[in-house]
Structure 1
Amino acid sequence: MEAKANGPKEERLCPEIDGPTNPMVTPLLTDLYQFTMAYAYWKAGKHHERAVFDLFFRKNPFGGEYTVFAGLEECIRFIANFKFTEEEISFLRSSLPSTCEDGFYDYLRGIDCSDVEVYAVSEGTVVFPKVPLLRVEGPIAVVQLLETPFVNLINYASLVATNAARHRFVAGKTKVLLEYGLRRAQGPDGGISASKYCYIGGFDATSNVAAGRIFGIPLRGTHSHAFVSSFMSPDEIVEKSLLSCDGSGTCEDFVSLVQTWLRKIQWTHSLRGIFGETNQSELAAFTSYALAFPNNFLALVDTYDVSQTLQFASN
């Protein structure tokens, strides 16, 4: 990568760059009309002509004032490994009109993106409508084939990163923001991508273990409603001792300590109405989880309130 004077950065292709995170991102991840145009360029002898494409957007999402640019790394991974397989060539031959000449498929076999130049703002940059995020220069037929995958790789990524940044702005710098959206994401790739771009947008950690492994995002998690519902009373807790955080001492009966503090809270005049009917089965689940993870305790406290559950999921 090198900087251009008074302009964005230029990504130099490197043969050591890994392929896209999602193996479905191949030269076929594009619209059919990109191939029909490529054929028409080739048929007219224009396919080697130099062309310049700019990628931009027309308005900010969510009625906001800015967008966070994301998805650049995946675009670079894509073009660094751009190559048609024989199986893909065969599929294109069966999908395009039979009038397409064999020479076009020979041309596709030989193309890569070694003659393509990409200029872009840095990923994570705050950007604005109608200002190019990417400039792609190269042979027109090749660059045409990059249009749809680039838009696909950048649109969703920038949308999620922008949403995450807006959450971070509202929460402030001191709050910890955790992303737990995998179960409701748009399929596996939507979940992996959302975890990555939430992190880029300012979240601190994710519950998505796969994203943690792939991208090195810190992992955080709680327990599910099933865990809370599996307890009936504190009598079920067998191991009750709890080592202090600094290791200097041990509470031999943490369950009794919890009950003692509950009684103190219940007798506090301002809190009496809130904790007066504490569900002992839920308290047993939370106590048991705290005993299991004394230094990483994080409780899910909305077990029996559907409206709060949906709110928690949306956040």
Structure 2
Amino acid sequence: MESKTDQKNSNPFVNALLTDLYQVSMAYAYWSIGKHEQRSCFDLFFRKNPFKGEFTVFAGLEEALKFVKNFKFTKEMLTKMKKKFSWPEKFWDWLGTLDSSQVKIYAMPEGSVCFPRCPLMRVEGPLAVCQLLETTLLCLINYPALVCTNAARHRLAAGKDKILLEFGLRRAQGPDGGMSASRYAVMGGFDGTSNVEAAIEYGLECKGTHAHSFVTAFSGLDDVKDKDIAGKGVDFVAMVLKWRKQLKKETTNDGELAAFISFAQAFPKRFLALVDTYDTINSGCWNFICVSLALSELGFKPIGIRLDSGDLAYLSVECRNIFKKVVRFGFRPGDDDDHPQKN
């Protein structure tokens, strides 16, 4: 069976060319004076914990080992380099013979807690080869460790029982950063990601709700063409409006309510709504409650709400208070006294 380190790196950019020029320049200098095969030892470490914290989580080892395992300068790589740099032909020939067969790697297990100035990885082997590995290994460890540490800090702050999801792809440092961030956020303690490709590539849990654009796509209740839900043979819209009247919240935004009804029709078993498109307290939260109460009548348990703008701390507390108020008056959207919410 092929081991993980026998496979290619997830990112095709990760190869012997992904290095700084001075690494190749030093390799040439070592080679030109006959020092290139001298046994050497490089320690990979960091000087300060990120986020002014007290620890770092070591990540990126699997990709680093794949890189070392597959390290070589192919003929195609050398042809590209020759167009850019003018070193002697014998140097190019030597560069083409390099591999990692004489390299030994020692490292702490991936996911370990680590601290400043303590080696995370030790690389032993011929001086020139170790030199050529340096930049790439740092690249493959530094960013993953940063993301993984940040995720672990969020997990510690949220506690073990909360569900944490990573939705950062749209603001990531490009596609490569987005894929890495999703992968290492889960390694650091998150439960899943919105990133479909990362979920498929790395076997992660994929989760998502809906956006503000979904809410604004509806202008009123006339946009809900099918009144039924899940083949129940009921007028779900009428059920929702009955609850809105009973709660005396007829002034909530109709377009938003239509969006929530439509989303519940599509996902009756996992209804979770983004409630801050217009007015969180006076519209979004109440529209969610109306739809949730109707779902509960039909035996479905709504999941909760999502907030992504404004004063999240204040709004989450106010939404929680509204839920408690509704429960106090005898309405129960779901089985729990305090309806779950997602921030």
> Normalising TM by the smaller chain, what interval?
0.7 to 0.9
- Is 1:298 paired with 2:272? yes
What is the CA–CA distance in structure 2 between the aligned matches of 1:94 and 1:199, rounded to whole Å?
Answer: 42
The match for 1:27 is 16
> Which amino acid counterpart does residue 130 of structure 2 have in structure 1?
V
Q: How does 1:1-315 map to 2 (within 5 A)?
A: 17-96=6-85, 98=86, 100-243=87-230, 250=232, 252-266=234-248, 277-304=251-278, 308-309=308-309
Displacement, 1:224?
Answer: 1.9
Please say if residues 5 and 62 of structure 2, whose CA atoms lie closer than 8 Å, have aligned partners that are also in contact: no
Displacement, 1:45?
Answer: 0.9
> Which amino acid counterpart does residue 93 of structure 1 have in structure 2?
K
TM-score, normalized by length of structure 2? Answer: 0.78
> Which amino acid counterpart does residue 28 of structure 1 have in structure 2?
L
What is the CA–CA distance in structure 2 between the aligned matches of 1:55 and 1:218, rounded to whole Å?
Answer: 32
Displacement, 1:212?
Answer: 0.8
Displacement, 1:225?
Answer: 1.8
1:41-95, CA deviations, whole angstroms, 9 ceiling, x for partnerless residues? Answer: 1111111111110000001100111111111111011111112121211222233
1:146-177, CA deviations, whole angstroms, 9 ceiling, x for partnerless residues? Answer: 10001111111111111111111111111111
TM-score, normalized by length of structure 1? Answer: 0.85
What is the CA–CA distance in structure 2 between the aligned matches of 1:238 and 1:163, rounded to whole Å?
Answer: 45
What is the CA–CA distance in structure 2 between the aligned matches of 1:14 and 1:290, rounded to whole Å?
Answer: 44
Displacement, 1:305?
Answer: 7.1
What is the CA–CA distance in structure 1 between the aligned matches of 2:9 and 2:163, rounded to whole Å?
Answer: 30
Displacement, 1:197?
Answer: 0.6
The number of aligned residues is 286
Please say if residues 45 and 117 of structure 2, whose CA atoms lie closer than 8 Å, have aligned partners that are also in contact: yes
Segments of 5+ residues of structure 1 without an aligned counterpart are: 1-12, 244-248, 267-274
1:226-261, CA deviations, whole angstroms, 9 ceiling, x for partnerless residues? Answer: 211111222321223234xxxxx9361222222222
What is the CA–CA distance in structure 1 between the aligned matches of 2:104 and 2:261, rounded to whole Å?
Answer: 58
Please say if residues 56 and 129 of structure 1, whose CA atoms lie closer than 8 Å, have aligned partners that are also in contact: yes
> Which amino acid counterpart does residue 309 of structure 2 have in structure 1?
T
Cα gap change, 1:287/1:14 in structure 2, threshold over 3 Å: closer, same or farther? closer
Could you tell which deviates more after superposition, 300-309 or 139-148?
300-309
Please say if residues 15 and 80 of structure 1, whose CA atoms lie closer than 8 Å, have aligned partners that are also in contact: no
Could you tell which deviates more after superposition, 45-54 or 292-301?
292-301
What is the CA–CA distance in structure 2 between the aligned matches of 1:39 and 1:311, rounded to whole Å?
Answer: 57
SS at match of 1:250: coil
1:98-123, CA deviations, whole angstroms, 9 ceiling, x for partnerless residues? Answer: 3x322111111111111111111111
What is the CA–CA distance in structure 1 between the aligned matches of 2:82 and 2:21, rounded to whole Å?
Answer: 12
What is the CA–CA distance in structure 2 between the aligned matches of 1:208 and 1:196, rounded to whole Å?
Answer: 9
> Which amino acid counterpart does residue 276 of structure 2 have in structure 1?
D
Segments of 5+ residues of structure 2 without an aligned counterpart are: 281-306, 313-342
Please say if residues 221 and 298 of structure 1, whose CA atoms lie closer than 8 Å, have aligned partners that are also in contact: no
Displacement, 1:288?
Answer: 0.4
> Which amino acid counterpart does residue 285 of structure 1 have in structure 2?
A
